[in-house]
Amino acid sequence: MRYSIIGTGGIGGYYGGRLAQAGNDVHFLLHSDYEYVKEHGLTVDSVNGDFYLPAPQVYREADELPLSDVVLVCLKTTNNHLIPELLKTAADAHTVVILIQNGIGVEEDVQGMLPGIQLVAGLAFICTAKAGPGHINHQCYGQINLGNYSCKDGALLSRIADDFTNAGIPAHIVEYKEARWKKAVWNMPFNGMTVALNTQTDLLLKNPATRQLIREQMMEIVGAARALGVNGVDEDFVEKMIAMTDKMTPYSPSMKLDYDFQRPMEIRYIYSRPLAIARAAGAPMHKLEMLEAELKFLGEYIK
């Protein structure tokens, strides 16, 4: 199958690179790194084995991308208004578009912009970042869960999961709402808390006070998910996420990196949308509402 990668940063570079390394037909959209990768290739340093693509198929403009069977959208949600233009040549009604993005409500809004597109949520459990031009640093984990939002072709989705798995990326097809809320259990506490306290994931859990606060925030998400009738988001999953993060390499989540580099933070989908949905369901998340207010202040006033 033919894959296109829109957003060749830490996640798009790693997943797209692995797929290409395994022999898949992969096309990368780049902007600032285009000349460098065109000349020098793509380097991935990974805990699962370093690799190098000497001549990846790269493009500077979205309208140069070929029509693809699968498009991985790895943009920050702050750029989602660009998606219709970016998909103009790469996707049609038969293409599966996988939104590897954080937050709740992403697929609903993209579907509104592109009613005929088949959408799948890509929930990445991975620590990876761009280390420099054409250089990806994959620190740990790497699994991706695929939650079907509007894909009509179940067989094609299964083939995609197989392609990921065969490329060394554990992939599972999961229930959409459960997947999105499970990802929120990790994203909502750790993205915002690392920004608000100017720290990394490991220190938040080493300190007893912030470890307890993280757990309480996670349990607010469990309560919201229960109120919405979402299965599988429970206290056992909270303990699993905390244990997983205990073992993780000290990490700055995407929102912390965005803040450090003075880029817009993804507050709308990681916080505002799920908080509004939870309030409407009668399960407000008060601690996370406070964190959202702090992030809005930091995003607007602190540079």
What are the residue numbers of the active site? 183
- DSSP SS3 for 126: strand
Token pair for 177: 């709402």
Q: What is the CB neighbour count within 10 angstroms for residue 299?
A: 18
Beta strands in the chain (DSSP E): 2-6, 25-29, 42-46, 51-53, 57-59, 70-73, 96-99, 118-132, 135-148, 171-174
Token pair for 18: 């692995």
For residues 205 and 214, the answer to whether their CB atoms sit within 8 Å is: yes
Rounded distance between C-alpha atoms, residue 273 and residue 99, angstroms = 17
Beta pairing partners, 147: 121, 174
HSE-CB of 103 using CA atoms within 13 angstroms: 28
Close Cβ partners of 155 (under 8 Å, ≥ 6 residues apart): none
